[in-house]
Amino acid sequence: MFTASMNFDLGDDINALRDMTHRWAQDRIKPIAAEIDKSNAFPNELWKEMGDLGLLGITVPEEFGGADMGYLAHVIAIEEVARASASVSLSYGAHSNLCVNQLKLNGSPEQKAKYLPGLVSGDHIGALAMSEAGAGSDVVSMKLRAEKKNDRYVLNGTKFWITNGPDADTLIVYAKTDPDAGSRGITAFIIEKTMAGFSTSPHFDKLGMRGSNTAELIFEDVEVPFENVLGEEGRGVAVLMSGLDYERVTLSGIGTGIMAACLDEVMPYLAERKQFGQPIGNFQLMQGKIADMYTALNSSRAYVYEVAKACDRGEVTRQDAAACVLYASEEAMKVAHQAVQAMGGTGFMNETPVSRIFRDAKLMEIGAGTSEIRRMLVGRELMAKMV
């Protein structure tokens, strides 16, 4: 374990939250992280534990069972979960931010009262479905159709790459209510797993983030009552956009958690592994590696934490939300790459955590928006202020 990092002065509450999450994740998740990866199955008992610890509703008001804290708190929690297992943290983020926080931001009082308590306690699992096989970065081109028939909507089509898809009880799903209206023809729905005609594929076999269950969602004449529209009809893109900045910032914590995990593995190895009669950490090339890894971790933390604080003040900008996740994700991939390199042949073995972390880190540059889309967003936002 690597503990020699500077104190970011985040306050007593956040420090206590980090301590608690760190201990729990190191005790309960880290020992099974390799098995989660190998079996490609999420340990569902963790949901209830996370619920009991109050991790599932960090940004939710107390009246719905939440902790009523902010995005900085959420970033710290997801970082410490990711430090133990990135795949668990991805499922955790899909539940607690993508689903729960979207309900908090956009749900009616009735919808919040109906869905949030079960999600916050961990009795229900949440997901959010945006992407389709033919609509990834170009999300507005989605094809899932929602037709109004009498007193309800009828959904037909599919969603793809949906985190927690096979397990989720409550899903936020975007569909086209008016295929000719472009971005104004999309509506957000709250879907329950038990609705007739809803099914999921078996979970996918992925390069990394294994055990964070991902699947295709299949809608065959799924009837959804009007009261399950999240926001307003035709305003789905507004719902989607309302959460994206917060999603980017929260998921940045997975990147910092991956980097922290790399140092946790590499530092003791450099002290213990001997070549040429001395610990390899004595060699300057190795010291250069850890210097770069440490710099990447703490510069990412500094940026991510500041953007999260801006979220809590209600001052976040789209370019900073996109830039912090772009940076933390690409640095995480680089650091994971160097972690494998630092550990040489040992790092290349599947039983060492860094090889798993290396595969997991790749998702950070692809999922929840590719690096290309994030760069495009930052550049476009910056130029928009000049013309």
Partner 1 sequence: MKVLVPVKRVIDYNVKVRVKADGSGVDLANVKMSMNPFDEIAVEEAIRLKEAGKAEEVVAVSIGVKQAQETLRTALAMGADRAILVVAADDVHHDIEPLAVAKILAKVVEEEQPGLILCGKQAIDNDMNATGQMLSALLGWSQGTFASELDIDGDSAVVTREVDGGLQTIKVKMPAIVTVDLRLNEPRYASLPNIMKAKKKPLDEKTADDYGVDVTPRLEIVKTSEPVARAAGIMVGSVDELVAKLKEAGAV
Active site residues: 247
- From 63-71, 123-131, 169-177, 337-345, give the range in contact with partner 1 by CB under 8 A: 63-71
Decide whether 67 or 254 has the Cβ nearer to partner 1.
67
Question: What is the sign of the dihedral through the CA atoms of 138, 140, 141 and 142?
Answer: positive
Q: How far is the CB of 111 from partner 1 (least distance, A)?
A: 23
Secondary structure of residue 61 in the 3-state scheme: coil
Is residue 63 a contact point for partner 1 (CB under 8 A)?
no
Query: Could you count the other beta carbons within 10 Å of the beta carbon of residue 39?
Result: 12
Count of positions on this chain that bind partner 1 (CB under 8 A): 21
**d(Cα 317, Cα 311) in Å, to the nearest integer?**
8
Q: First CA to last CA across the chain, in angstroms? A: 49
Q: How far is the CB of 82 from partner 1 (least distance, A)?
A: 17
Q: How far is the CB of 30 from partner 1 (least distance, A)?
A: 13
Among residues 10, 33, 46, 58, the one that binds partner 1 under rule CB under 8 A: 58
- From 62-70, 187-195, 308-316, 320-328, give the range in contact with partner 1 by CB under 8 A: 62-70
Written in H, E and C, the secondary structure of 153-178 is: EEEEEEEEEEECCCCCCEEEEEEECC
x-or-dash pattern for partner 1, window 11-30, by CB under 8 A? -xx-xxx-xx--xx------
Please give the single-letter amino acid code of residue 103.
Answer: L
Q: How far is the CB of 164 from partner 1 (least distance, A)?
A: 21
x-or-dash pattern for partner 1, window 118-157, by CB under 8 A? ----------------------------------------
Is residue 113 a contact point for partner 1 (CB under 8 A)?
no
Give the dihedral of Cα atoms 299, 264, 357, 240; nearest 10 deg. Answer: -40
**d(Cα 319, Cα 375) in Å, to the nearest integer?**
9
The rounded radius of gyration (Å) of the Cα atoms in the chain is: 21
Is residue 54 a contact point for partner 1 (CB under 8 A)?
yes
Tell me the sheet residues that pair with 222: 155
Among residues 29, 60, 69, 81, the one that binds partner 1 under rule CB under 8 A: 69
Q: How far is the CB of 104 from partner 1 (least distance, A)?
A: 16
Element (H, E) at 245: helix 236-272
Please give the single-letter amino acid code of residue 331.
Answer: E
CA atoms within 13 A on the CB side of 79: 31
Among residues 52, 227, 232, 272, the one that binds partner 1 under rule CB under 8 A: 52
| Binding site residues, partner 1, CB under 8 A | 1, 3, 7, 12-13, 15-17, 19-20, 23-24, 52-55, 58, 62, 67-69
